Amino acid sequence: MTEDREPLATLSTRALRVDYPIFGGTAAAVRGVSLSVGAHECLGVVGESGSGKTQLFMAVMGLLPSGAQVSGSALFQDGEILGLPPDQLNRIRGSKLAMVFQDPMTSLTPHLKIGMQLAEILVHHRGLSWRDAERAALSALDRVHIPDPRRRLKQYPHELSGGMRQRVMIGMSLLCEPALVIADEPTSALDVTVQARILELLRELRTQTGISIVLISHDLAVVASLADRIAVMYAGRVVESAPAAELLRGARHPYSALLMQCVPDFHRARTERMPFLAGQAPGAAEPERGCAFAPRCPRSTERCTHERPALVAVHSGAEVACHHPLT
Amino acid sequence: MARRRLLANPGARISLGIILALVALAVIGPWLNPNRVETLDWSFIAADPGIAHAHWFGTDRLGRDLYVRTLAGARVSMIVGLVASAVSLSLGLMYGAIAGYVGGRTDDVMMRLVEILGGLPLIFFVIFLTVVFGRNEYLLFVSIGAVGWLTLARIVRGQALSIRRQEYIEAAIASGAGTARIICRHVLPNVIGPVIVYATLTIPQIILLESFLSFLGLGIQEPRASLGTLIAEGAGEMEAAPWILLGPGVFLTLLLVCLNVFGDRLRDAFDAGTRR
Amino acid sequence: MSEPLLDVRGLGVDYRGVRALGEVSFQIYAGETLGLVGESGSGKSTLARAVLRLIRASRGQVFWRGMDLLRCDAATLRSQRRELQIVFQDPLTSLNPRMTVAGTLAEPLLIFERDLTAGDRHMRMGRMLERVGLAESMLGRYPHELSGGQCQRVAIARAMMLHPKLLICDEPVSSLDVSIQGQIVNLLSDLQSEFGTAMLFISHNLAVVRHISHRVAVIHDGNLIETASCEALFAAPVHPYTRALLEAVLVPISVPVPVCAAPDPTGRGRV
């Protein structure tokens, strides 16, 4: 690796595909995604359930079940990470590349105390002694603003509230000073008020440490509050990506625009009907015929049902895959 | 889904095949041989197995053909095993489901009974019954019946306890369903998984138990045969006429091993299904 | 003003020495939607279950058509269940995984309208499925073959099978994608218009509550702290907690604005 330039991107994927063999063919969870996260950048990835957003990053982390077929490439800090042998992968995972999952109840080991789970990571990855590791765990809890951290270290996951567990998860991911943290629906299991505080925490940590973040969510409002750039995924592909400010001012893809409408606005007059997207996204097992969004799209035409739109750059930094973009 | 996965597994296929073959043999086999179960062939006492004299497995001390006897014994063992298993399983299932779902005092009382029966030393119990009631084949059913259902009752109760907390049970209550309906339509279908697996492992256990009790002389009585009595007989003659032990011994071993293997594969198939 | 359909007085639940629910009183009138807003742990799910006697209340009364549901005998309670239904938060766990959609929908009919023929039952189920936006062909499917939104529709269909007078919705859209939530909320509105069903709509999401409620009650730490008409509550909240709650909701984005952390009214730094 050349020393005289910073890596262009902390993480970049190229034509990443994830397929699962099923009776009678394959199910494509991710259909060729190329995106990148720069240093100190926050990339927001938005999409409904089944859009492939989680599968994509699980593939990067090497956390998919053994039946999954991953192809394409994923470069982490200029090194190919797909298909790395387990011992090399384990040196990267959990230390330089960390992931925070949706439901902290199931991602924290229920029968181990919090302090133990935190310290274990440091002992394993950094070779610290248990005593030093416990001290580091204490400061990690402090960093994520958990009140009374000494007492919490001795508690089990079920003794903490959902919001606090999520803070512990975030603290855990930061222990080894990662370059990139992937946060998969970190607030979906939480109340709206707690949600705001967790996102605030992530923002603060980013300012302090300069880590890159990938924030995955089905809720555009969550992503918009933190992201520098937003990528919108639908049915296993990226359909639009742009700087956050630009996307929020005016989305180009009809799907993105509809998602914008679903963001609640208390300043708008109260309407009887809640905005929504009709129908539902196609499943991974369904074969692609033209644009996957066409059946639900108010702007779709004959062409959309036959010809799949390619992801085309609008300018450097923004791209959209649509035959009839909005602007 | 689970069925397909199961049948794809070679171990499952082979063991199932052997089991079915053994069953077929036990049912049809005797027709292939001219001898009958009770016939005493004085000309061939304790004879070696051979084709010429139509005693394919040889004969015992009384001149009875062992091939036919073995298969007759197999039939008895299998029927007892099947019937006793069915009764044990049904009893264990209902008992466990009710105890687990109703909970509270009822559960406490019901499980105390299970624990007491579970603590019974079986052989002493059977001997005691034999002393009181004399040697009676029906005691066999009583003894097996007393213990065969206990483990399943515990397993099902554990399952029912966790199911009780599920939201669809609350939904059923909110819909106005009574306890009976909830247990039958909601609890039982959702505990079936481990039950089926346990059932296939119970059958060989019960067959073995019956064989054991009969071996001790506490079960099936002469002149009727079960694999256990035949093995007992054969054990006594092991030095002089080893073939008497061989037929029933091999049959029983093969049957039990295949049932166990099949049960294991069944559990694997179910586990993989639920993991999805 | 007519008599309330549901009149809850001083309802409280103690659980292992903790007050999960204090002493809560409210009324619901025929055909209206009362929104109940609160955070996790505020006691709102406990309230829903206590009203239906799915858990045991420690004090209070729940008057339904003049009788106290908490004190009547089991048989009377069961007979009233056809009028009081509930939809739960997680559609996947509120449906029996081993029962087809048909089995799930048939159950209320089998319990309360036993003299229906199989053909009649089938017709009723088919019609209700259509009303919630699902095809009749779904009858043979199992829950794991359906999406979250579809499962929730089935749960709603089950609850509405007998045209109940009151439907309690306990966070019915919180498990669903934001884009799908509107489908379900609008469906509930439609069903209310068609059948005149009153609703108790419980949620931590103020935006959703705002759309569907006529009146809103706010619950905090097991107590109702404010009840008002929907417009009044959102325009001019009285209680400081209500105000804090409103401020904490993510500011909608027309221009990216840094979101302020919610001021913590309890001062205990609890998340």
On whether the CB atoms of residues A7 and A267 are closer than 8 A, the answer is: no
pLDDT band (50, 70, 90) for residue C263: very low
Please, which residues 137-166 of chain C have a Cβ atom closer than 8 Å to chain A? 147-150
pLDDT tens digits along C193-232: 999 999 999 998 888 888 889 999 999 888 999 999 988 8
pLDDT band (50, 70, 90) for residue C128: very high
On whether the CB atoms of residues B263 and B200 are closer than 8 A, the answer is: yes
For residue C34, pLDDT over 60 is answered with yes
Contact at CB, C79 and B176, closer than 8 angstroms? yes
pLDDT value for C11: 93
pLDDT value for C112: 92
- Degrees, nearest 5: CA angle C81-C83-C87: 80
Q: Any CB–CB contact under 8 A between C93 and chain B?
A: yes
Contact at CB, B168 and C95, closer than 8 angstroms? yes
pLDDT band (50, 70, 90) for residue A267: low
For C168, nearest residue in chain B (alpha carbons): B174
Cβ-Cβ contacts under 8 Å, A164 against chain C: 271
pLDDT tens digits along C231-261: 888 888 899 888 888 877 755 444 333 333 3
For residue A110, pLDDT over 90 is answered with no
Among C79, C93, C112, the residue with its CB nearest the CB of B166 is: C93
More confident residue, C3 or B222: C3
Cβ-Cβ contacts under 8 Å, B190 against chain C: 96-98
Q: Where are the beta strands (DSSP E) in chain A?
A: 11-22, 25-33, 36-37, 42-46, 69-76, 79-80, 97-100, 180-184, 212-217, 229-234, 237-243, 312-315, 318-320
For B185, nearest residue in chain C (alpha carbons): C99
Cβ-Cβ contacts under 8 Å, A218 against chain C: 177-179
- The token pair at A155 is 């508690």
Distance CA(C153)–CA(C138), nearest Å, equals: 11
Cβ-Cβ contacts under 8 Å, A257 against chain C: none
Cβ-Cβ contacts under 8 Å, C258 against chain A: 203, 225
Among C148, C181, C248, the residue with its CB nearest the CB of A192 is: C248
Please, which residues 48-87 of chain C have a Cβ atom closer than 8 Å to chain A? none
Backbone angles phi, psi at A39, to 5 degrees: -65, 140
Which neighbouring-strand residues pair with C37? C203, C218
**How far does chain B reach from its first CA to its final CA, in angstroms?**
11
Average pLDDT over residues A250-275: 80
- Other CB atoms within a 10 A radius of the CB of residue C263 amount to 11
Among residues C128, C106, C100, C134, the alpha carbon closest in space to that of C118 is found at C106
pLDDT tens digits along A274-289: 888 888 888 888 888 8
Please, which residues 10-49 of chain C have a Cβ atom closer than 8 Å to chain A? 39-41
What is the 3-state secondary structure of A200-222?
HHHHHHHHHHCCEEEEEECCHHH
B273: CB partners within 8 A, 6+ apart: B1, B2, B5
State the residue for tokens 């404010």: C226
Distance CA(C152)–CA(C170), nearest Å, equals: 12
Q: Beginning with the edge strand found earlier in the chain, give each strand of the sheet holding C67-68 in spatial order.
A: C18-28, C6-15, C59-64, C67-68
Among residues B75, B83, B69, the alpha carbon closest in space to that of B206 is found at B83
Average pLDDT over residues A102-123: 85
Among B170, B181, B186, the residue with its CB nearest the CB of C54 is: B170
Q: Any CB–CB contact under 8 A between C123 and chain A?
A: no
For residue A271, pLDDT over 90 is answered with no
Cβ-Cβ contacts under 8 Å, C94 against chain B: 167-168, 170-171
Q: Any CB–CB contact under 8 A between C166 and chain B?
A: no
Q: Any CB–CB contact under 8 A between A244 and chain C?
A: yes
Among A48, A200, A270, the residue with its CB nearest the CB of C177 is: A48
Q: Any CB–CB contact under 8 A between C210 and chain A?
A: yes
Q: Any CB–CB contact under 8 A between C95 and chain B?
A: yes
**pLDDT less than 70: residues of chain B:** 1-6, 270-276
Among A49, A218, A271, the residue with its CB nearest the CB of C211 is: A271
For residue C264, pLDDT over 50 is answered with no
Residue type, C146: L
Residue type, A298: P
Contact at CB, B190 and C98, closer than 8 angstroms? yes
Contacting chains of A (3 CB pairs or more, <8 Å) are C
Fold of C6-248: Rossmann fold (3.40.50)
Give per-residue burial for C31-69: e unless 16+ CB within 10 Å, then b.
ebbbbbbbbbbbbbbbbbbbbbbebebeebbbbbeeeeb
Distance CA(C206)–CA(C208), nearest Å, equals: 5
Residue type, A63: L
Cβ-Cβ contacts under 8 Å, B181 against chain C: 111
User: For residues A108, A114, A116 and A117, what is the CA-based torsion angle, rounded to 10 degrees?
Assistant: 30
User: Domain spans of chain C?
Assistant: 6-248
The phi-psi region of residue B45 (left if phi > 0; otherwise alpha if psi is between -120 and 50; otherwise beta) is beta
pLDDT value for A254: 92
pLDDT value for C28: 94
Average pLDDT over residues A250-263: 88
Distance CA(C37)–CA(C248), nearest Å, equals: 13
pLDDT over 90 percentage in chain A: 25
Contacting chains of C (3 CB pairs or more, <8 Å) are A, B
B165: CB partners within 8 A, 6+ apart: none
In this prediction the ipTM stands at: 0.84
State the residue for tokens 């990226």: A238
Among A145, A192, A262, the residue with its CB nearest the CB of C250 is: A192
- Other CB atoms within a 10 A radius of the CB of residue B148 amount to 21
Residue type, A99: M
Q: Any CB–CB contact under 8 A between C182 and chain A?
A: yes
* Distance (Å) from the alpha carbon of C162 to chain B's nearest alpha carbon: 10
For residue A5, pLDDT over 70 is answered with no
Domains recognised in chain A with CATH numbers:
11-96+176-320 (3.40.50.300)
pLDDT value for A216: 95
Q: Any CB–CB contact under 8 A between C54 and chain B?
A: yes
Contact at CB, B174 and C52, closer than 8 angstroms? yes
Distance CA(A230)–CA(A247), nearest Å, equals: 7
- Degrees, nearest 5: CA angle B99-B105-B106: 35
pLDDT band (50, 70, 90) for residue A57: very high
For residue A17, pLDDT over 90 is answered with yes
Among residues C251, C248, C243, C199, the alpha carbon closest in space to that of C218 is found at C243
pLDDT tens digits along C88-117: 999 989 999 989 999 999 999 999 988 889
pLDDT value for C255: 38
Cβ-Cβ contacts under 8 Å, C85 against chain B: 174-175
pLDDT value for C32: 93
pLDDT band (50, 70, 90) for residue A1: very low
> Which contacts of A164-169 are long-range, i.e. CB under 8 A and separated by 24 or more positions?
A164/C271, A165/A104, A165/A105, A165/A108, A166/A100, A166/A104, A166/A190, A166/A194, A166/A198, A167/A141, A167/A198, A167/A201, A167/C271, A168/A104, A168/A108, A168/A114, A168/A118, A168/A141, A168/A144, A169/A100, A169/A101, A169/A104, A169/A107, A169/A108
Average pLDDT over residues A7-18: 85
Q: Any CB–CB contact under 8 A between A194 and chain C?
A: yes
Which neighbouring-strand residues pair with A14? A73
Residue B223's Cβ-side half-sphere holds a number of Cα atoms within 13 Å equal to: 9
For A218, nearest residue in chain C (alpha carbons): C177
pLDDT value for B276: 39
Please, which residues 37-66 of chain A have a Cβ atom closer than 8 Å to chain C? 48-50
Distance CA(C197)–CA(C31), nearest Å, equals: 5
Mutate to test the interface with B, among C53, C77, C78, C94 (most CBs of B within 10 A): C94
pLDDT value for B5: 66
State the residue for tokens 């309802």: C11
Which neighbouring-strand residues pair with A13? A74
Residue type, B110: M
More confident residue, A106 or B249: B249
Q: Any CB–CB contact under 8 A between A262 and chain C?
A: yes
pLDDT value for C265: 35
Taking CB atoms and an 8 Å cut-off, how many pairs form between chains A and C? 146
- The token pair at A53 is 């957003």
Among residues B203, B221, B218, the alpha carbon closest in space to that of B125 is found at B218
The continuous run of DSSP H or E covering A141 comes out as: helix A130-143
- The token pair at A265 is 């606005």
Q: Any CB–CB contact under 8 A between C163 and chain B?
A: no
Among residues B174, B178, B175, the alpha carbon closest in space to that of B187 is found at B178
* Distance (Å) from the alpha carbon of B172 to chain C's nearest alpha carbon: 8
For C244, nearest residue in chain A (alpha carbons): A193
If you average pLDDT over every residue of chain C, what do you get? Answer: 86
pLDDT tens digits along A82-100: 888 888 888 888 788 999 9
pLDDT band (50, 70, 90) for residue A3: very low
Distance CA(C90)–CA(C107), nearest Å, equals: 20
Residue C165's Cβ-side half-sphere holds a number of Cα atoms within 13 Å equal to: 11
Q: Any CB–CB contact under 8 A between A90 and chain C?
A: no
What is the 3-state secondary structure of B116-181?
HHHHCCHHHHHHHHHHHHCCCHHHHHHHHHHHHCHHHHHHHHHHHHHHHCCHHHHHHHHCCCCHHH
pLDDT tens digits along B118-176: 888 877 887 787 788 777 777 777 777 777 788 889 989 998 998 888 899 999 999 98
pLDDT band (50, 70, 90) for residue A270: low
pLDDT value for B220: 74
Q: How far is CA B218 from CA B64, B80, B127, B136, in A?
A: 22, 14, 7, 8
Among residues B92, B63, B74, the alpha carbon closest in space to that of B28 is found at B74
Distance CA(C121)–CA(C129), nearest Å, equals: 12
Domains recognised in chain B with CATH numbers:
2-35+57-275 (1.10.3720.10)
Average pLDDT over residues A222-244: 92
Sign of the Cα torsion B22, B23, B25, B30 reads: positive
Contact at CB, B176 and C52, closer than 8 angstroms? no
Among C86, C94, C107, the residue with its CB nearest the CB of B177 is: C107
For C83, nearest residue in chain B (alpha carbons): B175
The phi-psi region of residue B201 (left if phi > 0; otherwise alpha if psi is between -120 and 50; otherwise beta) is alpha
On whether the CB atoms of residues B55 and B67 are closer than 8 A, the answer is: yes
For A200, nearest residue in chain C (alpha carbons): C261
- The token pair at B77 is 């063992």
Contact at CB, A193 and C248, closer than 8 angstroms? yes
